[in-house]
Chains A and B, each alone.
Chain A
Amino acid sequence: MARKLVVVDDQTEARQLITLVLSTEDHVIHEVGSGENAIDMVRALEPDTVILDVVMPGPVNGLDICRAIKSDPVLRRTGVILVTARGEPQDLQAGWAAGADAYIVKPFGFDHLVSTVERVGAEGAGPAASR
Chain B
Amino acid sequence: MATITARRLFLARPLSQLRRMSPWWLAAIVAVSGLVTTLAAWQVSAGSGEAAARARFDGVADQITLAIQRRMISHEQILRGGGALFNLNNDLNRVQWRTYVAGLRLEETYPGILGVGFTRRLPAADLAQHVARVRAEGFPEYTVHPQQPRDEYHSIIYLEPFWGRNLRAFGYDMMTEPTRRAALERARDNGEPAMTRRVVLVQEGKQDVQPGFLLYFPVYRAGMPRGSVEERRLGLLGFVYSPFRARDLMTGILAGFNNDIAVEVFDGDAGGGDNLMFASAAVSADAPPRFNASRRLEFGGIHWTVRYSSLPAFEAAQPDPSRFVLFAGLVLTGFLAVLVMSLANTRNRAFAMARDMTSQLSESETRLRSVLASAAEGILTVSAAGRVHTANPAAERIFGLEGRDMDGKALDDLIVDHDVPRLCRIIEEQGIGVNAVARFEAQGRRATGENFPLAVSLSRTVDDGIARFTLMVRDVTEAKLTESILQLRERAIESSSNGIVIADMRLPGNPVIYVNPGFQRITGYSADEIIGRNCKLLQGGDAEQPGVKELALAIAGRRPASVLLRNYRKDGSLFWNELSVAPVFDEAGICTHYVGIQNDITQRVQAEDDLQVRKERLDAIFSLSPDGFVGFGADDTLTDVNPAFLRMTGFRQEELVGITEEEFDRRMQGLCDPALPYPPVRARIEDDGEGVPPIDGDRRSAPRHTLTLLKPEKRILQRSVRRGAEGSLEKVVYFRDVTRETEVDRLKSEFLSTAAHELRTPMASIFGFSELLLRRKYDETKTRELVGTINRQASILINLINELLDLARIEARAGKDFKARRQDPRALIENTVANLMVQNDPRRVLVTLGADIPAVDFDTEKLGLCLTNVLSNAYKYSPDGGSIELSTVTSAPGQRKALGIRVRDHGIGMTGEQVARVFERFYRADPSGNIPGTGLGMSLVKEIMELHGGDVDVESVRGMGTTVTLWLPLPEDRPMPLAA
Q: Which of B770-801 contact A (CB under 8 A)?
A: 771-772, 775-776, 786, 789, 792-793
A57 to B928, CA, bound (A): 5
B928 pairs with A108, CB closer than 8 A: no
Return the contact of A10 from the options B757, B766, B929 (Cβ within 8 A).
B929
B760 and A10 form a contact (CB under 8 A): no
Q: A85-B757, A85-B764, A106-B763 are in contact. Are A13 and B793 (CB under 8 A)?
A: yes
Q: Among residues 1 to 48 in chain A, which have CB atoms less than 8 Å away from a CB atom of chain B?
A: 10-14, 16-17, 20-21, 24, 33-34
Chain B neighbourhood of A86, CB < 8 A? 753, 756-757
**Complex contacts, B930 vs chain A, CB 8 Å:** 10-12
| Chain B residues, Cβ within 8 Å of A75 | none
Report which residue of A11, A12, A16, A107 has the largest number of chain B beta carbons within 10 angstroms of its beta carbon.
A107
Whether B768 pairs with A21 at a CB distance below 8 angstroms is yes
**Contact between B929 and A20, CB atoms less than 8 A apart:** no
Question: Is the Cβ of A85 less than 8 Å from the Cβ of B928?
Answer: no
Contacting pair B765 A55 (CB below 8 A)? no
The answer to whether B129 has its CB under 8 Å from any CB of chain A is no
Q: In A45-100, which residues have CB < 8 Å from any B CB?
A: 55-57, 84-88, 91
Given contacts A10-B929, A11-B930, A17-B769, whether A24 and B760 have CB atoms under 8 Å apart is no
Q: Kindly identify which residue among A21, A57, A85 contacts B926, using a CB–CB cutoff of 8 Å.
A: A57
> For residues 879 through 929 of chain B, which have their beta carbon under 8 Å from a beta carbon of chain A?
924, 926-929
Does any Cβ of B come within 8 Å of A127's Cβ?
no
Measured between beta carbons, the chain B residues less than 8 angstroms from A33 are 928
Whether B767 sits at the interface, judged by CB under 8 Å, is yes
Decide: B772 and A21 in contact? CB cutoff 8 A. yes
Write out the residue numbers on chain A whose beta carbons fall within 8 Å of the beta carbon of B477. Answer: none
Contact B753 A107 (CB under 8 A): no
Q: A20 — which chain B residues lie within 8 A by C-beta?
A: 769, 772, 776, 786
The reply to whether A106 and B929 contact each other, CB–CB distance below 8 Å, is no
Q: Is A105 at the interface (CB under 8 A from chain B)?
A: yes
Question: In the complex, which residues of chain B have a beta carbon less than 8 angstroms from the beta carbon of A126?
Answer: none
Interface bin, chain B: 20 to 34
Shortest CB distance B914–A (Å): 11
Which residue from chain A places its CB closest to the CB of B925 in the assembled complex?
Answer: A57
- Distance in Å from the Cβ of A82 to the closest Cβ of chain B? 13
B761 near A: Cβ within 8 Å?
yes
Q: How far is the CB of B781 from chain A (nearest CB, A)?
A: 14
- Minimum CB–CB distance from A19 to chain B (whole Å) comes to 11
A107, B771: Cα distance in complex, Å? 11
Please indicate the chain A residues that have their CB under 8 angstroms from the CB of B761 in the complex. Answer: 11, 14, 85, 106
Number of A residues, CB within 8 Å of B: 27
Closest Cβ–Cβ distance, residue A65 to chain B (whole Å): 15
Write the chain A residue with the least CB distance to B757.
Answer: A85
Report the nearest A residue to B753, measured CB to CB: A88
Q: How many Å lie between the Cα of A107 and that of B763 in the bound state?
A: 6
B71 CB to nearest chain A CB (Å): 151
- B928→A11 contact, CB < 8 A: yes
Greatest chain A CB density within 10 A among B757, B772, B775, B930 is at B757
What's the Cα separation between A90 and B928 when bound, in Å? Answer: 22
Closest to A13 in B: B765
Chain A residue, CB-CB nearest to B752:
A88
Complex: A104 Cα to B943 Cα, angstroms:
36
Given that A55-B927, A110-B775 are known contacts, is A17 also in contact with B765, CB under 8 Å in the complex? Answer: yes
Q: Is the interface of A mostly helix, strand, loop or mixed?
A: loop
With A10-B927, A17-B769, A56-B928 already in contact, the answer to whether A107 and B789 are too (CB < 8 A) is: no
User: Could you tell me the distance in whole angstroms from the C-beta of A10 to the nearest C-beta in chain B?
Assistant: 4
Residue of B nearest to A86 (CB): B757
Bound together, the chains give a CA A103 to CA B764 distance in angstroms of 15
Residue contact B760 to A107, C-beta cutoff 8 Å: yes
Q: Closest CB of chain B to A117's CB: distance in Å?
A: 14
Which of chain A's residues have a CB closer than 8 A to the CB of B766? 107
A77 to chain B, nearest CB (A): 28
Q: Mark A100-124, 1 if CB is under 8 A from B, else 0.
A: 0000011111100000000000000
A21-B772, A55-B757, A86-B757 known; A106 and B928 CB under 8 Å?
no
Q: Which of A13, A21, A56, A85 contacts B756 (CB 8 A)?
A: A85
Q: How far does the Cβ of B184 sit from chain A's closest Cβ, in whole Å? A: 134
CB distance from B768 to the nearest CB of A (A): 4
Interface residues of B in 785-819 (CB under 8 A from A): 786, 789, 792-793
Let me know if A107 and B757 touch, CB within 8 A.
no
Task: Give the docked Cα–Cα distance between A58 and B707 (Å).
Answer: 35
Let me know if A87 and B756 touch, CB within 8 A. Answer: yes
Which of B753, B771, B793 meets A109, CB within 8 Å? B771
Asked whether, in the complex, the Cβ of A108 is within 8 Å of the Cβ of B775, the reply is no
- Pair A105/B760 contact, Cβ less than 8 Å: yes
A89 → chain B closest CB, angstroms: 10
Q: Which of B768, B927, B928 contacts A107 (CB 8 A)?
A: B768
Contact B926 A108 (CB under 8 A): no
Determine how close the nearest CB of chain A comes to the CB of B771; give it in whole angstroms.
5
| Minimum C-beta distance from B606 to chain A (A) | 60
Q: Which A residues are CB-close (under 8 A) to B769? A: 13, 17, 20
Q: How far is the CA of A85 from the CA of B771 in the complex (A)?
A: 18
CA distance A86 to B761 in the complex (A): 9
Known: A13-B793, A88-B753. A107 touches B929 (CB 8 A): no
Could you tell me the distance between the alpha carbons of A109 and B771 in the complex, rounded to whole angstroms?
8
Q: Which of A12, A17, A57, A87 touches B760 (beta carbons < 8 Å)? A: A87
> Closest B-chain residue to A88, C-beta based?
B753
Nearest CB on A from B186, distance (A):
140
Docked pose: A92 CA to B793 CA in angstroms: 25
Task: Give the distance to chain A from B567, nearest Cβ to Cβ, in Å.
Answer: 74
Q: How far is the CA of A105 from the CA of B757 in the complex (A)?
A: 10
What mask results when residues 280 to 293 of chain B are scored 1 for a CB within 8 Å of chain A, else 0?
00000000000000
Complex-state Cα separation, A110 to B928, whole angstroms = 23
Which residues on the A side are within 8 Å of B758 (C-beta)? 85
**Alpha-carbon separation in the docked complex, A91 to B749 (Å):** 13
Q: Which residues of B (707-761) have their CB < 8 Å from a CB of A?
A: 753, 756-761
Give the residues in chain B near A17, CB-CB below 8 Å. Answer: 764-765, 768-769, 772
Which residues of chain B are near A109, meaning CB under 8 Å? 771
Q: How far is the CA of A56 from the CA of B757 in the complex (A)?
A: 12
Set of chain B residues within 8 Å of A13, measured between Cβ atoms: 765, 769, 789, 792-793, 929
Query: Do A57 and B927 have beta carbons less than 8 Å apart?
Result: yes
Is A56 a contact partner of B772 (Cβ separation < 8 A)?
no
Please measure, in the bound complex, the distance between the C-alpha atom of A3 and the C-alpha atom of B671, giving whole angstroms.
57
Query: In the complex, what residues of A have CB within 8 A of residue B792's CB?
Result: 13
Q: Which residues of A contact B929 (CB under 8 A)?
A: 10-14
| Closest Cβ–Cβ distance, residue A3 to chain B (whole Å) | 20
Shortest distance from the beta carbon of B746 to any chain A beta carbon, whole Å: 13
Which chain B positions have C-beta within 8 A of A10? 927-930
Q: Please, which residue of chain A has its CB at the minimum distance from the CB of B789?
A: A13
Alpha-carbon gap, A119 to B163, bound state (A): 153
B801 to nearest A CB, angstroms?
15
Q: Which residues in window 126-185 of B have CB below 8 A to A?
A: none
With CB as the reference atom, state the residue of chain B lying closest to A90: B753
Hey, which chain A residues are within 8 Å of B753, CB to CB?
Answer: 86, 88, 91
- A106 and B771 contact, Cβ closer than 8 Å, known pairs A11-B929, A56-B928, A86-B753: no
Chain B residue nearest to A58 in the complex (CB):
B928
The docked-state distance in angstroms from the alpha carbon of A91 to that of B929 is: 20
Supplied contacts A10-B928, A91-B753, A108-B768, 13 more A-B pairs, CB within 8 Å: A10-B929, A11-B765, A13-B792, A14-B761, A17-B764, A20-B772, A56-B927, A57-B928, A85-B757, A107-B767, A107-B768, A108-B767, A110-B772
Interface CB pairs A-B, < 8 A, 10:
A11-B928, A13-B792, A13-B929, A14-B761, A14-B764, A21-B772, A33-B928, A56-B927, A57-B928, A106-B763
Which residues of A come within 8 Å of B, CB atoms? 10-14, 16-17, 20-21, 24, 33-34, 55-57, 84-88, 91, 105-110
Which 10 A-B pairs rank lowest in CB-CB distance, beginning with the nearest?
A106-B764, A11-B929, A85-B760, A107-B767, A10-B928, A107-B764, A17-B768, A85-B757, A57-B927, A85-B761
